[in-house]
Amino acid sequence: MVRVLVNGACGRMGQAVLAAVLADSELELVGAVDIRGGMDAGELVGKEKSGVIVEKDLVAALANHKPDVMVDFTRPDVVFGNVCTALKAKVSPVVGTTGLSEEQKDRIRKLSEECGTPAFIAPNFAIGAVLMMLMSKQAAKYMPHVEIIELHHDKKLDAPSGTAIQTAQMISEVRESMKQGHPEEKEKLAGARGAEYDGMHIHSVRLPGYVAHQEVIFGGLGQTLTIRHDSMNRESFMPGVVLACKRVRELHGLTVGLDKLLD
């Protein structure tokens, strides 16, 4: 039985994680933390009382409940501190909060090794999103001209999304760096061509009604190829979260990407 603490329990993703952990016979919910506290975690997600009360103090909750895993869906401005706190308490973080810099990931990797406690970060926990990224990496070998459009709800705080950045990183591994578009191209409005990663353009859309969506568009001579993934609800991420909770303690150091856990 894997003992799990959910950090960011009252958020939309946090509540979905609570429900998933409570429903899985191999996971035990032992703690829940959020800046809003006081309610029973089971009742929070519309289930019977769990006996786990949402607390406000992460350090105290980790010390008192001694979880094996901390699932973090909080905010980009606090996630790094949360991960470091968990690692120092010998608790493995499973992180879905995006916005961590490469420098922060390097520091987490070092701390994880120093503490002898594995850590796991995934920009996207949806199995379909992982397949979309893997297929895009394969396609880029043959169609290197590519742009990425990611679409999320208007409450998302970081742009571009972690999924878009990881997709671009994976594509850059298999294609030569190039500056796409006309060499004399000029933006009439700053940002019109989106962000740039290794010559690829990434465009972020933020609108109510979306959950998490991405399309990767490849262009070639007389043809285009579009690979798209859509998450219609937050439950789509839960199989990946549950898998990471069960597997993270088998890992070493920092692991990034759900694809590392798939056969």
Distances from the Cα of 105 to the Cα of 62, 89, 110, 165, 261, angstroms: 22, 18, 9, 14, 19
Catalytically active residues, by annotation: 152, 156
Q: 202 has which bridge partners?
A: 148, 195
Q: Residue 114: is its pLDDT beyond 80?
A: yes
Closest-CA residue to 93 (of 62, 70, 68):
70
Domains of the chain: 2-121+235-261 (3.40.50.720), 127-232 (3.30.360.10)
111 backbone dihedrals φ, ψ, rounded to 5°? -65, -40
Tens digits of residue pLDDT in 203-249: 999 999 999 999 999 999 999 999 999 999 999 999 999 999 999 99
- Determine the distance from the C-alpha atom of residue 175 to the mean position of all C-alpha atoms in its chain, rounded to a whole number: 25
What value does the mean pLDDT take over residues 82-97? 97
Q: Are 98 and 132 in contact (CB under 8 A)?
A: no
Tens digits of residue pLDDT in 90-107: 999 999 998 899 999 999
pLDDT value for 37:
86
Number of Cβ within 10 Å of residue 1's Cβ equals 10
Number of Cβ within 10 Å of residue 162's Cβ equals 21
**Stretch (H or E) spanning 169:** helix 162-172
Q: Residue 179: is its pLDDT beyond 90?
A: no
Amino acid at site 9: A
Q: Residue 52: is its pLDDT beyond 90?
A: yes
Tens digits of residue pLDDT in 18-38: 999 999 999 999 999 999 988
The pTM (predicted TM-score) of the whole model is 0.83
Confidence tier at 181 by pLDDT (50, 70, 90): confident
pLDDT value for 99:
84
Per DSSP, 29 falls in state E
Per DSSP, 53 falls in state B
- 33: tokens are 């933390």
